Chain A
Amino acid sequence: MKKFFNIYFTCIKTAMARALAYRLNFVLSMLIALGWNALFPLVTILIYGAGASFPGWDFYEVLLIQSVFLLSTGFAFMAFNGVLWSTMHHIREGSFEIVLLKPISPIFFMIAANFDPECVGMIVGGTVLFTIAIVHTGVASVMAVGQFLILFTAGFAVMAGINMLMAATSFKWVGNSRIPEIFDSMMEFGKYPATIFPKPLQGIAAFVFPVSMIGFFPAQALLGDLEMYMIISIIPCILFMLFGIFMYKHMIKLYEGVGG
Chain B
Amino acid sequence: MRSIKHKIDICAAVAHVTIKEYLVYRSHMMVSLFVGPVYFVVQFFIWTAVYGDGGALVGFEYEQMIRYFGITALLGYVTWNSADWNLSMLIRTGRYLTFALRPLNHRFFALSQKIGHRLLAIGFELIPCTFIFILLFGIDMRPSNIGWFVLSVALAFFMNFYVNYCLGLASFWIVQTDGIRYLYALLSTIFAGALVPLVFFPVSLQFIQFFLPFQYISYVPVMVFLGEYRLGGFTLSIPAIVGIQGAAVIVMFILSEILYKSAMKRFTAVGA
Q: Taking beta carbons and an 8 Å cutoff, which residues of A are in contact with B?
A: 25, 28-29, 32, 35-36, 39, 42-43, 46-47, 49-55, 173, 176-179, 181-182, 184-186, 188-189, 192, 196-198, 201
Contact = CB atoms under 8 A, between A and B. Distances in A.
Interface string B226-253: 0000000000000000000000000000
Interface residues of B, number: 30
B183 to A, nearest CB: 7
B196 interface: yes
Interface in B157-181: 176, 178-179
Contacts of A54: 46, 49-50
Contacts of A53: 50
Interface of B: 25, 27-28, 31, 34-35, 38-39, 42, 45-46, 48-52, 57-58, 176, 178-179, 182-183, 186, 189-190, 195-196, 200-201
B183 A32 contact: yes
Contacts of B28: 176-178
Contacts of A197: 45
A35 B186 contact: yes
Tell me the dominant secondary structure on chain A's binding face. helix
Nearest to A192: B46
A176 B49 contact: no
Given A25-B179, A32-B182, A198-B45, 5 more contacts: A25-B178, A54-B46, A176-B27, A178-B31, A182-B35
Contacts of B182: 32
Contact of B31 (A35, A55, A182): A182
Give the 8 A-B CB pairs with smallest separation, nearest first. Answer: A196-B49, A185-B38, A46-B200, A188-B42, A178-B31, A185-B35, A28-B179, A52-B50
Contacts of A29: 179
B190 A55 contact: no
A43 B179 contact: no
A54 B51 CA distance: 9
A176 B26 CA distance: 11
A42 B34 contact: no
Contact of A32 (B42, B50, B57, B179): B179
B38 A176 contact: no
B31 A181 contact: yes
Contact of B50 (A47, A188, A189): A47
Given A46-B201, A176-B27, A188-B42, A39 B52 contact: no
B39 A185 contact: yes
Contacts of B34: 182, 185
28 contacts: A25-B176, A25-B178, A32-B182, A32-B183, A39-B195, A42-B195, A43-B46, A43-B196, A46-B200, A46-B201, A47-B200, A50-B57, A52-B50, A52-B51, A54-B46, A176-B25, A176-B28, A178-B35, A179-B31, A181-B35, A182-B35, A185-B34, A185-B35, A186-B38, A188-B39, A188-B42, A192-B46, A198-B45
Contacts of A176: 25, 27-28, 31
B193 to A, nearest CB: 11
A29 B183 CA distance: 10
A42 B38 contact: no
Nearest to A191: B42
